[in-house]
Structure 1
Amino acid sequence: MFVARLVVAWFLVLLFVALVLADSPPFRHHDMGGMVVLLIFIALLMVVTGAVSHLRRVRLVAGRIDDDTLGNRQRRRVEIPFDADESFDLLDAAIRELPRTEEVESARDSLQVRAKVQRPITYGHRSFGKLDPGTWFGHLRNQIFATVTPGDGSSSVTLICEPEAGAWSDWFRVDDGTNLENAEAITRAITRRVAEKRRHEKARAAQSESEKERTVARLNLLHAQVEPHFLYNTLASAQYLTRTDPAQADQMLGHLIHYLRHSLPLTEDALSTVGDELERTRAYLEIMKLRMGPRLSLEIDVADVLRPISLPPMMLQTLVENSIKHGLERKPGGGTVWIRARRDDGKVAITVADDGLGFTGASGGTGIGLKNVRERLRLIYGPEASLSVVSNAPEGVASTIIVPVRVAKESAEVSS
């Protein structure tokens, strides 16, 4: 039917031309009927040849022959799982990379792309030259019109590939499957770019997860190194006190038990609370007070209403350990550790300050504890949390952790 439609259309046109020419003087005085019939036959033969070639080429390109693939004008609808701006960029890049594309017009505001595409001479030079009706309209170009329709978190692309001629020309010409090729090529390019973007997103997510795992492993290693050292020193001090001051040894062991009770391991990525961390830190400081004697003083100012707020475990104790090890232990007269907490604009600020040697003292610290605190805050809260370390006039250091106010789940359930 496709071939018959073309043959009938051309036959009617050629017959009309022959009838018109038959009344003209040159044809009236010369017997040229046979020549006209021969030319019509050759032209129709060329039409059949071009139509059959079109059929075979469409079958090669699409793998099938039906009404959708045979037409000179192709329409596609492609769903893209991105917003309209990203989809427009994908579409525009896919059209511009199409071979022989020219005169590309992109309108981002209206989400439209128009382009002209030079049509290749599919079978090279035509043997019959101007006798072939396929050359009577000149070598046409193809054109592309595409629009992006925004959706809820996604968008769709409507793609139209057609000859640069009116629809009437489809009765007389075939495009040798070139618009089918263009539509399929743009669809494949969009699909490839979507898949490539998905692979990049998965790679970035995997990389972020790997970085997080490495950071957690480093923190666990640091904790595993610090905790046994603290326990060893505490037990050694308690052993010594059992011989010299049994009552003080009993106090130290009681504080150690209290410390260990609040140091039970949490589930992965679970948060502690300000109250639990304060109890753990208080037990640690009481042990250090027994070891340092009157050289260590403690002042805590934390309202009860702040105790249920979530806080990463061991973070408060890390700041207190820094104050004692790098500020007060090396100071001849010792000093005081202050712990204060304040809530403001949906965030809570917890400050650990001391009046030790400060930044000028030869503390010998490596800074790995503060670095790990910053890294954990970044992984857990992102830009919502921060750690600042400043000088505490007239002497000492003040470290402040600022985290968003989030009530721990268990505390919320108990209070309700």
Structure 2
Amino acid sequence: MISSTFHLGRLLTAWMACYLVFTIFVNETFLQHAQRDPGGYFALLGFGLAVWVLSGVFSHIRRVRLVAGSVNSGTLSNRQRRQIEIPFEAGEAFDLIDAAIRELPGAVIVESARDSLQVRAKVKRINPYGMNDDGQAPAASWAFIPFGERRNQILATVTPNGDAAGSVTLICEPEGAAWTDLFLVDHGTNLENAEAIGRAITRRVAERRRLESAQVRQTATEKELTVAKLNLLHAQVEPHFLYNTLASAQVLTRSDPARADEMLGNLIQYLRHSLPRTEDAPSTIGEELERARAYLDILKIRMGPRLNLQVDVPDALRGVMFPTMMLQTLVENAIKHGLEPKPGGGTVWILARQVQMGETSAVSVTVADDGRGFTLEGGGTGVGLRNVRERLRLAYGSAAAFSIVANFPSGVAATITVPHALQAGGVHHG
């Protein structure tokens, strides 16, 4: 109530002061020798002026109360200032405030300078109390008719506040000079502009947060699917190998108990290294090599002299992290599709070397054989190799590679290249 009274008194005082100056000037200049006293006309003019001012101020106060919900010196002011903190870096905050201003109803001129992080705009001052025949609000209110069509203006300045925040200083004011506030009201249009920009920023920040939350949920879901897929691929163990090994051990227990015991020992070693691993417990080249040896030792008992093994893996590379079961897949392919179908069998080579992959140190592990090679009779379904490629993509992206080529003079050589990373507690010997 006090703010409204003070606002009304200030405007009424300013207009009455101008009116007194006007009447004194007219009386002294033009009416000194008038035959009739013009006092009655001056009183009528003063009364009309007071009614005009009072009605305009009353409309302004009611409009502000509707927009802001309360009336005080801040909301009644024609010139509104806001300090808005945006939780984005300065460039993103600038883009956000620029878009919010451009979408204001009545924005006719918008000038933005991204380097200086400033936005200036001119906005038509809409008459909130009337509509034209075409449904559009007229640009000038009756209160401003003596001064012609007027506009509001907006100045927004973004100040960087660290790497992840920007502070926006927003000024919404009439286009005229500050002294015009003594005589004119804006019917809450600048208050409405400031509130509209604040709401637009809040909505855009909330929308950005919703998108980020959705992306986080999507990433978490994709990660869970990836882990599940990796676990499924890890869990692929050749069931026929297990059945055949147990069947062979059963036969050997009658004819050669010592070899049966050796085969079961190798099977235990193989299964121990084939237990499922958690995502935080990666395997190493050394551990994968032990699994492959146990597998090949079992097959050597079954295949006899038809299978030979040559291993060339430096001790310095045995502690390097390596995907679980991948070496095993390559060894199984070499046996199943290369050496078992070949009369007389052959040799499996397992090699490991430290190499450069671009600017990054990497380790290449090769499994080669001198079996039947790329023939229609020697080929399989390719599921194992597709799994190798897919697991490498999921685990390393473009940082790993897989290749398979013909070996000379016969057979196949498959190579997996992964980044050189030692298991925690390992020592780099390269």
Distance apart, 1:229 and its partner CA? 4.0
Deviations 1:176-219 (CA, angstroms, capped at 9, x unpaired): 22222222222222222222222222222322322332233334
Q: Does the C-alpha gap of structure 1 residues 141 and 251 become closer, same or farther in structure 2, counting only changes over 3 Å?
A: same
Q: Are 2:92 and 1:92 equivalent residues in the alignment?
A: no
Answer with 354-363 or 304-313: which moved more: 354-363
Q: Secondary structure at the match of 1:226?
A: coil
CA contact (8 A) 2:126 2:141 kept: no
CA contact (8 A) 2:233 2:387 kept: no
Distance apart, 1:36 and its partner CA? 2.5
Q: 2:166 aligns with which of 139, 155, 165?
A: 155
Aligned to 1:185: 196
Aligned to 1:287: 298
After superposition, the CA RMSD in angstroms is 2.9
Q: Are 2:49 and 1:65 equivalent residues in the alignment?
A: no
For 1:401, give the aligned amino acid. I
Q: Secondary structure at the match of 2:274?
A: coil
User: How many angstroms apart in 2 are the aligned matches of 1:131 and 1:379?
Assistant: 65
- Percent sequence identity is 63
For 2:184, give the aligned amino acid. R
For 2:21, give the aligned amino acid. F
Q: Are 2:120 and 1:114 equivalent residues in the alignment?
A: yes
User: How many angstroms apart in 1 are the aligned matches of 2:410 and 2:22?
Assistant: 108
Q: 2:346 aligns with which of 328, 335, 339?
A: 335
Aligned to 1:386: 401
Q: Does the C-alpha gap of structure 1 residues 93 and 293 become closer, same or farther in structure 2, counting only changes over 3 Å?
A: farther
Q: 2:7 aligns with which of 2, 7, 25?
A: 2
Q: Residues 242-261 of structure 1 correspond to what in structure 2 (within 5 A)?
A: 242-261=253-272
Q: Are 2:84 and 1:78 equivalent residues in the alignment?
A: yes
| TM-score under structure 1 length normalisation | 0.88
User: How many angstroms apart in 1 are the aligned matches of 2:117 and 2:255?
Assistant: 85
User: How many angstroms apart in 1 are the aligned matches of 2:226 and 2:53?
Assistant: 72
Q: Does the C-alpha gap of structure 1 residues 193 and 43 become closer, same or farther in structure 2, counting only changes over 3 Å?
A: same
Q: 1:14 aligns with which of 11, 19, 29?
A: 19
Distance apart, 1:266 and its partner CA? 2.6
Q: 1:354 aligns with which of 369, 386, 397?
A: 369
Aligned to 2:3: none
For 1:245, give the aligned amino acid. D
Q: Are 2:413 and 1:401 equivalent residues in the alignment?
A: no
Deviations 1:229-281 (CA, angstroms, capped at 9, x unpaired): 43223212222222333332222111111122223333344312222122122
User: How many angstroms apart in 2 are the aligned matches of 1:109 and 1:213?
Assistant: 42
Q: 1:303 aligns with which of 287, 310, 314?
A: 314
Aligned to 2:62: 56
Aligned to 2:387: 372
Deviations 1:289-330 (CA, angstroms, capped at 9, x unpaired): 333333333222222222222223222222322333333333
Q: Secondary structure at the match of 1:23?
A: helix
Aligned to 1:138: 148
Q: Secondary structure at the match of 1:210?
A: helix
User: How many angstroms apart in 2 are the aligned matches of 1:395 and 1:185?
Assistant: 77
Aligned to 2:222: 211
Q: Secondary structure at the match of 1:39?
A: helix
Q: Does the C-alpha gap of structure 1 residues 141 and 407 become closer, same or farther in structure 2, counting only changes over 3 Å?
A: same
Distance apart, 1:227 and its partner CA? 5.0
Q: Are 2:44 and 1:38 equivalent residues in the alignment?
A: yes
| TM-score under structure 2 length normalisation | 0.85
For 2:273, give the aligned amino acid. H
CA contact (8 A) 2:61 2:71 kept: yes
Q: Does the C-alpha gap of structure 1 residues 32 and 152 become closer, same or farther in structure 2, counting only changes over 3 Å?
A: same
Q: Are 2:30 and 1:25 equivalent residues in the alignment?
A: yes
Aligned to 2:184: 173
User: How many angstroms apart in 2 are the aligned matches of 1:398 and 1:153?
Assistant: 51
Deviations 1:122-147 (CA, angstroms, capped at 9, x unpaired): 11279xxx996532222311222222
CA contact (8 A) 1:323 1:353 kept: yes
Deviations 1:345-392 (CA, angstroms, capped at 9, x unpaired): 432222333333444444553433333333333443343333333444
User: How many angstroms apart in 2 are the aligned matches of 1:212 and 1:170?
Assistant: 61
Gaps in structure 2 of 5+ consecutive residues: 1-5, 133-139
User: How many angstroms apart in 1 are the aligned matches of 2:240 and 2:33?
Assistant: 120
Q: Does the C-alpha gap of structure 1 residues 398 and 168 become closer, same or farther in structure 2, counting only changes over 3 Å?
A: farther
User: How many angstroms apart in 2 are the aligned matches of 1:392 and 1:189?
Assistant: 66
Q: Secondary structure at the match of 1:381?
A: helix
CA contact (8 A) 1:212 1:379 kept: no
Distance apart, 1:121 and its partner CA? 0.9
Q: Secondary structure at the match of 1:194?
A: helix
Q: Residues 225-236 of structure 1 correspond to what in structure 2 (within 5 A)?
A: 225-226=236-237, 228-236=239-247
Answer with 216-225 or 301-310: which moved more: 216-225
Q: Does the C-alpha gap of structure 1 residues 72 and 346 become closer, same or farther in structure 2, counting only changes over 3 Å?
A: farther
